Structures are given as structure tokens and as C-alpha cells.
Structure 1
């Protein structure tokens, strides 16, 4: 039967049971649905994501780091409950380095908004995430280039067009965007 696991030794059973809880925990927190799914518990989610992120687990580590970046940016598990942008940047950078495009975008936004600012690095990160096929990152890069001026407007227009192309490709719907002609 499809979907059944055949476990023939005690060692296989122990390994399966040791891993099933971990996989279930991460998947449930990742797919938390509002219609009766796992209750939202950001502090517990933070605890569950921390181990795989720190261990750089190839399967779930980068996604866990991304989620930790989101939680730290919201102040989850911070002593004063305030956003910790340095910590969120560290988590986003780790996930971005592993190829998680949304983390590159969030890191770019943080570098553009919060001190210490680094608009050059922010733009490069957003453009790199755009190259990974993440259409929102294309829009962020376009915005950052438009802010900087000096020839950035032409490249910004190209990035907006790329965002529209990626969106249409991913959704099957055209999404043309024109800002400040």
C-alpha cells in the first residue's frame, strides 16, 4: 500500500519514531491553518525552529532560520518583547546564504530600514533573490534602486517587468505594474 512504511527491525522503528515527531512538529507549525490546526504558539515555534537552524540541517534548517528571523523581528522570545533586528538579520542571513529567497528579501528590507543601514548590500540582496525567481524581491530591488536614483530608474523598470513576468509565470495571471513614470 502506498504511504505505509515497512519497518523490519527494532532499530528502524526507533529511528522512525525519533524522527516522526520532529517532522510532524515542523510541518504543523509551518502549515498552521486557522481552521482547527495547531494552536498558534510563537514561543514554542521559536523553540522548535532553533535546533535545526543552529545545526544547519539541510532538510529544514534554512526554513527554520527564516521562520526564526520572522519571529525575532516580531519580538518573540525577546526579554522586552520588542523586535530584535540584529538577531532577525542573523537568522535571515543564514537562510539567505542557504538559498531561501524570502529571507534575502527580508534581510534587504531590514538593512534599508533599520540601523545600521546598508542600502548597497540591501539592493544586492534583493536583486539576488529576484534572480532566484522571487517576484516580491524584484519589486523590493526596484524600489531600492528608485530610491538611490543615478541610473537606477532604468534598472528598476527592468526589475518591475521581471516581477510581473515571474508573477504571471507562477500564477498564470498577468500582473503588470507601473509606478512613477
Structure 2
């Protein structure tokens, strides 16, 4: 059939991949025309009910840049070129997924970028406040870097860590819920008092989202009566859930290694 690629033909595959690079490059750079931008606010000051006024081309150019970086990374294994595209799409277009990926590059110095946790923190922060599919992951990373203090000259900032863990937890990121539980168990000399009720609340939520240690901690708290009246039945239920989740994780690891 016309238009289909014979992936057993090396020349045909090469041509297909070369065409992808041209297409994604065009979407990323050549279609970035300010004349196609559309104000999100109507001329009379009323905010539109939907974002239908945003042209499809805007979405294409932003995701085109992301696809171009994915192409350089996954197909060409050209991390330097991928990093340049990510930087462009994050800094010029504010595309959250690219900001997240650029932050990850800065964590390890991948693609020739400067290995710098402060820069990574800024990238994750920008991604967190976007609406992209990696925004919740980015919020968690902001929380992590604020929590351990490596991105702050003044050391750990528990208030900021809590803020972004809460944002990620609300978005369904289990590890953030678990970290919040740990924060409230330990407390902090800078103003966060231990609060076992809050600790249990977040451990419960982490467990609901499939976090093994969230279930284990919540089980222990119900058993001991930390932050709640003792409840042996609930403790046992959560203990069994922790065991089941642990078993699933082991099964996945075995299948992955087969």
C-alpha cells in the first residue's frame, strides 16, 4: 500500500526517519510565527469559555519541538541536539514537558548542558506551573530539591517542599503523599510541628495510590494508635495491601528481567 513504510528495507527506513526530522524541525522552528498566536482573553475583556481560539498550529509547533528533541534523543542518540531543542522549547515557548526534560538533563549534565541543580530546579518549577503531562512529576521534583536543600543556598526549605509535595500529591503522585507523611511524622525546627493526624492522612492517600511504604506506615499507625484511635482491623487490611503491592512489584521486576 502507498504511504506505508517497509521497515525491513534499510534505505526506506532511513528515508522515513530523515523525513521525520525535517517535519519536526519545520513544525518547531518554521511555523513559530507570532501572527498565528491568539489571545486567551477576548477583546472585550471576557475570558472565552473554551480555548478554541488557540490555533492548532500553536499546539503543533510546541509538540513538534518536543517530538524533535525525542527524535534526537531516541533515534539519533544525539543528546546535544536534543538539549538545544529542549532549551528552545522551554525558554522560548514555555512548553512544560520540555522544561521538565531540560531539568532532568541539568541534574546529570546530559547533552553537554551544565550540571546544575539550581538550573534544574528552575526548569522543574516552570514545568510544575504549566499544564503539561509532566507537570505533576515536576512539582514532586521541586519538592525533593527544596527538601534536601541542594538547590537552595540556605539549605533545606521545608515550607517550599511541603507546598510542592501537596501540589503533586493532589495530582495523584504517590511519592509526594508519602513524603508529606514523613514530614509530618518528623516535624521541623523551622516551623513544621509534628502532626500525626496529617501524617496518617497522607500515608493513607499514598497507600490508595499504590505506595507500598505508605500502606506499611499507615498500618503501623492504626496498630499503635498514632494520629487515630487504634484499629487492628484497619491495620491488618493495610498490611495485606502492602504485601500485595510488594508482590506485584516483585512480579514486574521478574518479568522485566526475563
Normalised to the residue count of structure 2, the TM-score between the two structures is 0.56
Q: Is the 8 A contact 1:92 1:106 kept in 2?
A: yes
Of 69, 90, 105, 2:143 maps to 69
- Residue 174 (structure 2) pairs with residue 101 (structure 1): yes
CA RMSD of aligned residues (A): 3.2
Q: If you compute each CA radius of gyration, which structure gives the higher value, 1 or 2?
A: 2
- Residue 164 (structure 2) pairs with residue 91 (structure 1): yes
5 Å-filtered alignment, 1:1-181, equals 1=16, 4=20, 6-7=23-24, 10-11=30-31, 15=62, 16-17=64-65, 20=69, 21=86, 22=90, 23=97, 26-27=100-101, 29-30=103-104, 37=110, 40-55=115-130, 57-81=131-155, 83-114=156-187, 115-148=192-225, 150-172=229-251
In structure 2, the gaps of 5 or more residues are 1-15, 32-56, 70-85, 91-96, 253-258
Q: Is the 8 A contact 2:102 2:123 kept in 1?
A: no
Pairs aligned (count): 170
**TM-aligned CA distance change 1:138 to 1:32, over 3 Å:** farther
| CA-CA distance at 1:168 after TM superposition | 1.0
Q: Is the 8 A contact 1:130 1:137 kept in 2?
A: yes
**TM-aligned CA distance change 1:171 to 1:75, over 3 Å:** same
**Higher RCO by CA contacts (8 Å cutoff, separation 6 or greater):** 1
**TM-aligned CA distance change 1:154 to 1:18, over 3 Å:** closer
Q: Secondary structure at the match of 1:89?
A: helix
In structure 1, the gaps of 5 or more residues are 174-181
Normalised to the residue count of structure 1, the TM-score between the two structures is 0.76
